[in-house]
Amino acid sequence: MRGLDDNEAGGAGRRTGTPSAFTMIELLVVMFILAVLVALVASVGGYVMRSANERETAAIQAILMDAIQAWHDKANSTDPNTTAKGYPKEDYPDKQKGEMQNLMTELTSSLVYPPASRAARDILLKLPKEAWSGGTDEPVKDSWGAAMRYKDSTGLGGRPVIISNGPDGRQDTEDDIRSDEAQ
């Protein structure tokens, strides 16, 4: 009768005395599992970052819309010194600037409509420094660092709308973020 040797004692085909090591198949399986995990983390991380940027852009647009509404409410008050009617128009005289820079000039101008611009400026100061540093010659930027656009009456109910080109940076694509659409 034969006694138990190393193979029958649970050595799984390995001899004692030789160093144990992973086989090539085991290493490939581990590398494959790690690659799958890295791919999952990268795709989820990208989705989370995109969602965060979209929410931040929507928050910036909400602040801008609040400032526009405050300007509108003050500029269209019963004050006889006020000559503005309606929302700020996008057909500004200075075509060298973009419409967003012209809008910011109008919203923050202390010479033309002091009560309206004061109310709008108080709200605009809530914008993050990355979006707008406070200068009237600068556009307001979305969370991707691109300038947003202003349209005076293309939103729902004829209200103005602020438009971001979204993550692809191209104008008028399906991933544009508009202030008049629910996020």
**Side chain identity at residue 183, one-letter code:** Q
* Residue carrying the six token digits 């300038």: 147
Q: What is the structure's pLDDT at 152?
A: 79
What separation, in Å, do the N-terminal and C-terminal C-alpha atoms of the chain show? 79
177/161 Cα distance (integer angstroms): 10
Banded model confidence at residue 55, pLDDT cuts 50, 70, 90: very high
Residue 57 burial (CB count, 10 A): 25
User: Could you tell me the two tokens for 41?
Assistant: 């983390």
Which CATH superfamily groups domain 24-178? Answer: Glycoprotein, Type 4 Pilin (3.30.700.10)
pLDDT given for residue 14 in this prediction = 56
CA proximity to 140, closest of 168, 183, 112, 177: 177
Taking residues 72-88, what's their average pLDDT?
Answer: 63
Q: Considering only the C-alpha atoms of the chain, give the largest distance between any 2 of them, rounded to a whole number of Å.
A: 116
Annotate 106-134 with DSSP letters as a single string: HHH-TTT-HHHHHHHHHHHTTS-TTT--S
Give residue 69's pLDDT.
Answer: 87
Q: Where are the domains of the chain?
A: 24-178
Between 132 and 135, where is the model more confident?
132
Positive/negative CA dihedral, 66, 72, 78, 79: positive
> pLDDT: is 6 or 99 the higher one?
99
Kindly tell me the number of DSSP H helices and DSSP E strands found in the chain: 3, 3
